[in-house]
C-alpha cells in the first residue's frame, strides 16, 4: 500500500497500454452510489477531448499514470452530477471536520493506492487540511521534486480521515445522489453542531438544516445565535420550519417566532400541531424580556395530595426539557400552586410517601416580572427552576436556570 | 467564511450594524495617506483638481457595490471566493501581496499618528509605542461596548475636516464650478497634474477595501433580502468619504494654493501650513482629524489583514482562539503592529522605500483583484440572478480598465 496525493496526480502525464503519452490528468471522480471511497475514473485531457480512464485499468499512479488499456477504449466524458469530482467539489472547498468539530478548508486529498489482481485500486483515505498539502501545491514545479519531498517530510501532517468528513452541498438533488446525509454531524452534541453551523455561509446552513433530523435540528436551533436562527428559519419552507419549531422547547420556539416577520410567524404557526401551536401562541403574547417571555409551559405538576409514585408516573410521561424536570410542582384543585418538591427528594423517598411531606418553601414570580429581577431571584435563592404564577395563583410556567444563563450571557 | 465567533471582526460587524460596513470602509479609506494626497492636490493645483471627485466617487461606488453584493449573495469573503474559484497558488500570492501593501499602509498610519502629535511637541518615541499598545490592547482586551463607543466617536470626527473647510473661507462658487466643469486640456498635458490625478485615484480605491468590506458584510450576516439597505449604506459611505475629501482639497486650495504655498511633505505639514492662513481652529481641526483618522485606520488594518489572510489560506484565526491554536493569526497580527510601529523609531530607516514598495505592490494587485471581482460577479452559478447587468458591466469594465491604466501609469512613474 502506498499513499498518493490528489495534487500529485492532477496534471500528471498518462501513458496507455502501448506506452504512448495519452494526455494529462485533469480531474478524479468518485461514484458515491457505487462505492463511498473508491475512485471510479480519472478524467484525462487528450488530444481528442476529455476522456474517462476507468480506475480499474490503472497500473501505476504517481508522477506518471499508466494504464493497461488503450486511449481509444476510454469513454468520452459525459456530464454527470452523480459523481463526486474531487478537484471541483473538494479541493479548496470547505468541509465539516466531524471529529475536530469545526469547518475547515481542504488543501489536498490523499489516496491509498494498492494492487488488486492485475491493476491498482485507488481509494480516498483522508483530506489534508494542514501546511503539508498547501506547501506541496504551492511549491510543485517551483522547486525540484526531491527538495520538495525532503521539505514535506519535515512538516507535521494534519489529516482528517475520510469517515470524519462531511461534505457541503447546497443542491438537494445532488446531495441525494452523492449520499450526503450529515450522519457524522448529526451525532454531535447540538451545541457543537450549532457552533459549526454558525461558521457556515447561509446557503450551506440551509443545506444542513434541510437534511438534519427534525429533533436534532430543533435542539441545534435552540443553541444558535438569534440573528442566525431567524435567517435559517426564514430560508426553510414553512412546512419544514413548522416541523422543526414543533420539536423545540416552547419558550425557545416563542422567542424565535417573536423575532420573525409577522407573516412568516403566522405561516409557521398555521402548519404546526394544534396543541403545540396553542402553547407557543400563548407565550408569544408576552414580552420576551419578562418572566412570561422566558418561561416554558412544559413542566411537571402533580396534585398536592399525590404520592412519590404519582410524581414518578408524571415524570415518565413528561416530554419537555430535562432542565424543567428538576422540580415537581404541587397544585391544588384549580391548578393553583401550593408547593414544590425537588427531584432529588423524589429520588430518595419511598414510592408511598405523600408529596406534601416532602415539599419545600417555593419561590414564584408574576408573569410580568422583568427578566433582570428574575435573574436576581435565581441568584438570591440559588434556584434551579422558578415558578411563574398568574393573578389567581395558578401555575402558568417555569423558568429554568439554563435560560437565565443564556439571557445573562446575551446581555454582555 | 468560517469566522470568528465572538472575535473582533464579529464585534466590529455588530457595531457596523449601527454605522454600516460601507460607511466604516469608506471612513478608514480617508486615512493618513489619503488626507495627505488630498491636501497636496489642493495645495498644488487649487480648485482645478475638484473635478476628479465625481468620477472617483462613481468608480468607488461601482467597485464597492460589487464587493458588498458578493458578500450578501454568497455569504463568503472575497479571499474565500478567490480560493474556491482560482485555487491556492493565486490566493497565496494575493495574500502575500496584501500583507506587503497593508504593511505599508499600517506604517503610514502610525506615521500619521506620530506626525500629528509632533505638532503639539510630543516626541514620536513616546507617541508611537503608546499608540501601538493602545491599538493592540483595544482590539485584544477591549469589550465590545467600549470599542463600539470609541469607533463611533472616531467615525464622527471626520466632520472636523468639513468644519476646517468651512473655516478656511473658500470661494464657494469657484469651487462648485470647478467640481462640475471639464478639466482643461493644458492640465492633462502637465505631467505633475496627471501624476496627482493618479495619486488621488490610487489612494481612494485600494485592494484591501474590497476584502475588508466583503468580510464585514458577511460577518454582519447581511443576506440577499436585506441587501437593498446595504447598497444604500455603501453608496452613502462613498459619498460621505468623497465629501470629506472634497472639503480637504477645498480647504487647502483656499489657503495654501492661494498663498503660493505649494509644497507640503506630509499631512501634518499641511496642518502646520494652514495655521497662519486659516487660523488656530482650522489648524487644530486638521491636526486632530489626522490623528483620529490615522489611529482609526491603525486599529482596523492589522486585525482585518490578519483575518482575511488566515481565512483565505485556511489557517485558524480569531481572537477567541488561544495563541497555540491560531499561531499564524497571532504572529501576523502582532508582527504587523510591532513592525509597523517599530520602523518609525529606527533613525534613518528608508521609510520612503517601504511606501513606494507598498504603492507598487498595491498597483500590481489591484488589477487582479478588480478583474477577479468582475469574473466572480458575472458567475451565474455563484451569483444566481444577482449577476451584473449589462449596463453595470459596461460601467464596471470602463472603471476597471481606467483604474488599471492609471495604476500602471503610477507604478511606472514611481521613482
Please give the average per-residue pLDDT across B230-246, as a whole number. Answer: 90
What pLDDT sits at residue B8? 60
Q: What percent of chain B has pLDDT over 90?
A: 28
- CB pair distance less than 8 Å for B74 and A195: no
Please give the average per-residue pLDDT across B223-227, as a whole number. Answer: 80
Domain membership flag for residue A106: yes
A37 and A186 co-located in one domain? no
Of A93, A137, A231, the CB nearest to B221: A231
Residue A174 has pLDDT above 80, yes or no: yes
What pTM does this model have?
Answer: 0.81
Instruction: Render pLDDT for B64-84 as a digit per residue (tens, 0 to 9).
Output: 999 999 999 998 889 999 999
CA count, 13 A, side-chain hemisphere, B302:
32
Contact assessment for residue B49 and residue B249, using Cβ atoms and an 8 Å cutoff: yes
CA distance A107 to chain B (A): 8
Residue B320 has pLDDT above 70, yes or no: no
Q: What value does the CA radius of gyration of chain A take, rounded to a whole number of Å?
A: 30
* Alpha carbon distance A311, A316 (integer Å): 9
- Greater confidence (B317 vs B203) lies with B203
Instruction: Give me B262's grid cell.
Output: 505649494
Domain that holds residue A318: 301-411
* Alpha carbon distance A408, A378 (integer Å): 12
- CB pair distance less than 8 Å for A201 and B89: no
Site of grid cell 471627485:
B53
Q: Which of A9, A22, A27 is nearest to A64 (CA)?
A: A9
What pLDDT sits at residue A177? 83
Domain membership flag for residue A290: no
Residue B268 has pLDDT above 90, yes or no: no
Instruction: Render pLDDT for A72-118 as a digit per residue (tens, 0 to 9).
Output: 888 888 888 789 999 999 999 999 999 888 889 999 999 999 888 88
Lowest mean pLDDT among A143-147, A257-261, B331-335, B403-407: B403-407
Interface of B with A (CB under 8 A): 1-3, 5, 74-76, 80, 83-84, 87-89, 92, 143, 218, 221, 223, 225, 313-314
A271 and A371 co-located in one domain? no
What pLDDT sits at residue B5? 41
- Here the CATH number for the domain that contains residue A351 is 3.10.580.10
* Alpha carbon distance A39, A57 (integer Å): 12
A265 and A309 co-located in one domain? no
Cβ-Cβ contacts under 8 Å, B3 against chain A:
199
A18 and A148 co-located in one domain? yes
Instruction: Give me A349's grid cell.
Output: 423517598
A7 and A118 co-located in one domain? yes
Residue B230 has pLDDT above 80, yes or no: yes
A215 and A276 co-located in one domain? yes
Domains belonging to chain B, first-starting first, are 8-413 (1.20.1740.10)
Cβ-Cβ contacts under 8 Å, A103 against chain B:
2
* Alpha carbon distance B153, A128 (integer Å): 45
Residue among A94, A200, A206 with most chain B CBs within 10 A, to mutate: A94
Instruction: Give me B382's grid cell.
Output: 455563484
Domain membership flag for residue A169: no
Residue B260 has pLDDT above 80, yes or no: yes
C-alpha distances in Å from residue B377, one per residue of B70, B84, B299, B372: 7, 14, 30, 8
A185 and A319 co-located in one domain? no
Residue B1 has pLDDT above 50, yes or no: no
- CB pair distance less than 8 Å for A94 and B2: yes
The domain boundary, picked from A285, A313, A340, lies at A285
Residue A197 has pLDDT above 50, yes or no: yes
A208 and A340 co-located in one domain? no
Q: Residue A4: beta bridge partners?
A: A111
What pLDDT sits at residue A156? 86
What pLDDT sits at residue A93? 92
Residues 6 or more apart whose CB falls under 8 angstroms from that of B86 comprise B372
What pLDDT sits at residue B4? 38
Q: What percent of chain A has pLDDT over 70?
A: 99
Q: Which of B248, B197, B176, B132 is nearest to B413 (CA)?
A: B197
Please give the average per-residue pLDDT across B17-23, as a whole number. Answer: 68
* Alpha carbon distance A30, B151 (integer Å): 51
Q: Which of B101, B133, B351 is nearest to B210 (CA)?
A: B101
Domain membership flag for residue A292: no
Q: A176: pLDDT confidence band, cut at 50, 70 and 90?
A: confident
Q: CA B246, B247, B251 angle in degrees (round to 5)? A: 125
Contact assessment for residue A16 and residue A67, using Cβ atoms and an 8 Å cutoff: yes
Buried b / exposed e over A271-289, threshold 16 CB at 10 Å, is: bbeeebbebbeebbebebe
Residue B15 has pLDDT above 60, yes or no: no
* Alpha carbon distance B414, B260 (integer Å): 26
C-alpha distances in Å from residue B312, one per residue of A133, A158, A237: 15, 18, 33
Residue B6 has pLDDT above 50, yes or no: no
- Greater confidence (B352 vs A237) lies with A237
- The total of structural domains in chain A comes to 3
Name the 3-class secondary structure at B346: coil
What pLDDT sits at residue B339? 93
Q: CA A396, A397, A401 angle in degrees (round to 5)? A: 155
- CB pair distance less than 8 Å for B313 and A201: no
Residue A39 has pLDDT above 90, yes or no: yes
A271 and A125 co-located in one domain? no
The domain boundary, picked from A162, A195, A228, lies at A162
Buried b / exposed e over A205-234, threshold 16 CB at 10 Å, is: bbbbbbbbeeebbbbbbbbbeeebbbbbbb
The domain boundary, picked from A233, A260, A285, lies at A285
Question: Three-state secondary structure along A195-208?
Answer: HHHHCCCHHHHHHH
Interface of A with B (CB under 8 A): 92-94, 102-105, 107, 129, 134, 137-138, 195, 198-204, 227-228, 231, 234, 412
Q: CA B242, B392, B77 angle in degrees (round to 5)? A: 75
* Alpha carbon distance A384, B396 (integer Å): 60
Instruction: Render pLDDT for A114-140 as a digit per residue (tens, 0 to 9).
Output: 888 888 899 999 999 988 888 889 888
* Mean pLDDT computed over every residue of chain B: 84
Q: Which of A116, A143, A108 is nearest to A4 (CA)?
A: A108
- Here the CATH number for the domain that contains residue A83 is 2.30.30.240
Contact assessment for residue B158 and residue B289, using Cβ atoms and an 8 Å cutoff: yes
Of A138, A199, A228, the CB nearest to B221: A228
Residue B307 has pLDDT above 90, yes or no: no
Cβ-Cβ contacts under 8 Å, B74 against chain A:
201, 203
Inter-chain Cβ pairs, chain A and chain B, closer than 8 A? 50
Domain membership flag for residue A335: yes
Domain membership flag for residue A128: yes
What pLDDT sits at residue A234? 87
* Alpha carbon distance B139, B295 (integer Å): 12
A194 and A129 co-located in one domain? no
- CB pair distance less than 8 Å for B3 and A138: no
A265 and A147 co-located in one domain? no
Of B76, B218, B313, the CB nearest to A134: B313
Instruction: Render pLDDT for A46-58 as a digit per residue (tens, 0 to 9).
Output: 988 899 999 988 8
* Alpha carbon distance B26, B45 (integer Å): 24
A67 and A190 co-located in one domain? no
Domain membership flag for residue A360: yes
- CB pair distance less than 8 Å for B88 and A227: no
What pLDDT sits at residue B269? 84
Question: What count of other Cβ atoms lies within 10 Å of the Cβ of residue A342?
Answer: 16
Cβ-Cβ contacts under 8 Å, B223 against chain A:
202, 231
Of A105, A138, A201, the CB nearest to B92: A138
* Mean pLDDT computed over every residue of chain A: 89
- Here the CATH number for the domain that contains residue A264 is 1.25.60.10
Instruction: Give me B353's grid cell.
Output: 522605500
C-alpha distances in Å from residue A157, one per residue of A128, A398, B70, B314: 8, 51, 34, 15
Task: State the burial class of residue A400 (Cβ atoms within 10 Å of its Cβ: 0-12, 13-18, 19+).
Answer: buried
Instruction: Render pLDDT for B332-351 as a digit per residue (tens, 0 to 9).
Output: 999 999 999 999 998 888 77
What pLDDT sits at residue B188? 60
Domain membership flag for residue A170: no
Amino acid at each position: 500500500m502506498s499513499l498518493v496525493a490528489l495534487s500529485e496526480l492532477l496534471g500528471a502525464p498518462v501513458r496507455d497500454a502501448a506506452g504512448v503519452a495519452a494526455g494529462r490528468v485533469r480531474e478524479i471522480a468518485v461514484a458515491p452510489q457505487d462505492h463511498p471511497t473508491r475512485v471510479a475514473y480519472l478524467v484525462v485531457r487528450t488530444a481528442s477531448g476529455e476522456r474517462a480512464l476507468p480506475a480499474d485499468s490503472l497500473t501505476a499512479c504517481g508522477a506518471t499514470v499508466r494504464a493497461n488499456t488503450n486511449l481509444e477504449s476510454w469513454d468520452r466524458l459525459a456530464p454527470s452530477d452523480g459523481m463526486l469530482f474531487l478537484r471541483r467539489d473538494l479541493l479548496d472547498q470547505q468541509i465539516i471536520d466531524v471529529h475536530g468539530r469545526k469547518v475547515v478548508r481542504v488543501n489536498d486529498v490523499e489516496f491509498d493506492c494498492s494492487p488488486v489482481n492485475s491493476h491498482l485500486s485507488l481509494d480516498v483515505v483522508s483530506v489534508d487540511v494542514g501546511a503539508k498539502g498547501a506547501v506541496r501545491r504551492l511549491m510543485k514545479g517551483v522547486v525540484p521534486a526531491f527538495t520538495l519531498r525532503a521539505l514535506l517530510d519535515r512538516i507535521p501532517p494534519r489529516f482528517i480521515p475520510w469517515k470524519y468528513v462531511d461534505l457541503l452541498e447546497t443542491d438537494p438533488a445532488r446531495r441525494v445522489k452523492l449520499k450526503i446525509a450529515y450522519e457524522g454531524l448529526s451525532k454531535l452534541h447540538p451545541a457543537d453542531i450549532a457552533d459549526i453551523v454558525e461558521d457556515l455561509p447561509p446557503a450551506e446552513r440551509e443545506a444542513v438544516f434541510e437534511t438534519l433530523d427534525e429533533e436534532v435540528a430543533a435542539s441545534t436551533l435552540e443553541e444558535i445565535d438569534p440573528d442566525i436562527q431567524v435567517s435559517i428559519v426564514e430560508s426553510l419552507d414553512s412546512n419544514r420550519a413548522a416541523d422543526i419549531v414543533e420539536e423545540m422547547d416552547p419558550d425557545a420556539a416563542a422567542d424565535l417566532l417573536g423575532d420573525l416577520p409577522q407573516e412568516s410567524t403566522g405561516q409557521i404557526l398555521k402548519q404546526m400541531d394544534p396543541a403545540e401551536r396553542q402553547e407557543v401562541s400563548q407565550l408569544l403574547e408576552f414580552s420576551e424580556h419578562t418572566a412570561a417571555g422566558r418561561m416554558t409551559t412544559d413542566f411537571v405538576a402533580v396534585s398536592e395530595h399525590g404520592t412519590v409514585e404519582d410524581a414518578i408516573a408524571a415524570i415518565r410521561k413528561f416530554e419537555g426539557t430535562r432542565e424543567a424536570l428538576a422540580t415537581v410542582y404541587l397544585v391544588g384543585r384549580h391548578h393553583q400552586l401550593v408547593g414544590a418538591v425537588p427531584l432529588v427528594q423524589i429520588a430518595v423517598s419511598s414510592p408511598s410517601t405523600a408529596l406534601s411531606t416532602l415539599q419545600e418553601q417555593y419561590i414564584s414570580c408574576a408573569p410580568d416580572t422583568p427578566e433582570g429581577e428574575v435573574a436576581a431571584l435565581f441568584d438570591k435563592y440559588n434556584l434551579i427552576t422558578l415558578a411563574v404564577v398568574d393573578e389567581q395563583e395558578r401555575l402558568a410556567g417555569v423558568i429554568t436556570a439554563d435560560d437565565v444563563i443564556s439571557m445573562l450571557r446575551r446581555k454582555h | 467564511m468560517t469566522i470568528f465567533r465572538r472575535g473582533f471582526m464579529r464585534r466590529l460587524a455588530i457595531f457596523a450594524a449601527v454605522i454600516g460596513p460601507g460607511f466604516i470602509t469608506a471612513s478608514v479609506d480617508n486615512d493618513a495617506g489619503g488626507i495627505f494626497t488630498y491636501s497636496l492636490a489642493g495645495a498644488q493645483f487649487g480648485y482645478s483638481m475638484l473635478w476628479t471627485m465625481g468620477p472617483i466617487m462613481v468608480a468607488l461606488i461601482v467597485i464597492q457595490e460589487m464587493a458588498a453584493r458578493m458578500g450578501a449573495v454568497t455569504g463568503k469573503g472575497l479571499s474565500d471566493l478567490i480560493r474556491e474559484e482560482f485555487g491556492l497558488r493565486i490566493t497565496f500570492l494575493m495574500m502575500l501581496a496584501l500583507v506587503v501593501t497593508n504593511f505599508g499602509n499600517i506604517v503610514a498610519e502610525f506615521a500619521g499618528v506620530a506626525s500629528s502629535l509632533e505638532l503639539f511637541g510630543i516626541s514620536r518615541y513616546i507617541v508611537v509605542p503608546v499608540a501601538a499598545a493602545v491599538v493592540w490592547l483595544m482590539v485584544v482586551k477591549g469589550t465590545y461596548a467600549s470599542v463600539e463607543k470609541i469607533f463611533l466617536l472616531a467615525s464622527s470626527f471626520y466632520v472636523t475636516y468639513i468644519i476646517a473647510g468651512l473655516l478656511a473661507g473658500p470661494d464657494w462658487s469657484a469651487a462648485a464650478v470647478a467640481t462640475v466643469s471639464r478639466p482643461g486640456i493644458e492640465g492633462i498635458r502637465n505631467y505633475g497634474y496627471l501624476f496627482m490625478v493618479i495619486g488621488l485615484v490610487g489612494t481612494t480605491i485600494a485592494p484591501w477595501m474590497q476584502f475588508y468590506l466583503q468580510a464585514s458584510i458577511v460577518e454582519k450576516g447581511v443576506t440577499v433580502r436585506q441587501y437593498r439597505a446595504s447598497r444604500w449604506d455603501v453608496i452613502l459611505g462613498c459619498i460621505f468619504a468623497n465629501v470629506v475629501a472634497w472639503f480637504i482639497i477645498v480647504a487647502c486650495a483656499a489657503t495654501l494654493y492661494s498663498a503660493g504655498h505649494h509644497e507640503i511633505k506630509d499631512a501634518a505639514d499641511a496642518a502646520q501650513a494652514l495655521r497662519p492662513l486659516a487660523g488656530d481652529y482650522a489648524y487644530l481641526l486638521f491636526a486632530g482629524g489626522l490623528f483620529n483618522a490615522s489611529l482609526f485606520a491603525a486599529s482596523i488594518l492589522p486585525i482585518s489583514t490578519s483575518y482575511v489572510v488566515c481565512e483565505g489560506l485556511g489557517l485558524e484565526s480569531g481572537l477567541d482562539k488561544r495563541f497555540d491554536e491560531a499561531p499564524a493569526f497571532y504572529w501576523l497580527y502582532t508582527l504587523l503592529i510591532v513592525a509597523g510601529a517599530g520602523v518609525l523609531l529606527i533613525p534613518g530607516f528608508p521609510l520612503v522605500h517601504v511606501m513606494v514598495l507598498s504603492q507598487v505592490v498595491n498597483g500590481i494587485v489591484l488589477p487582479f483583484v478588480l478583474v477577479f471581482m468582475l469574473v466572480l460577479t458575472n458567475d451565474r452559478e455563484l451569483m444566481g440572478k444577482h449577476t451584473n447587468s449589462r449596463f453595470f458591466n459596461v460601467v464596471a469594465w470602463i472603471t476597471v480598465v481606467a483604474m488599471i491604466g492609471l495604476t500602471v501609469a503610477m507604478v511606472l512613474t514611481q521613482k
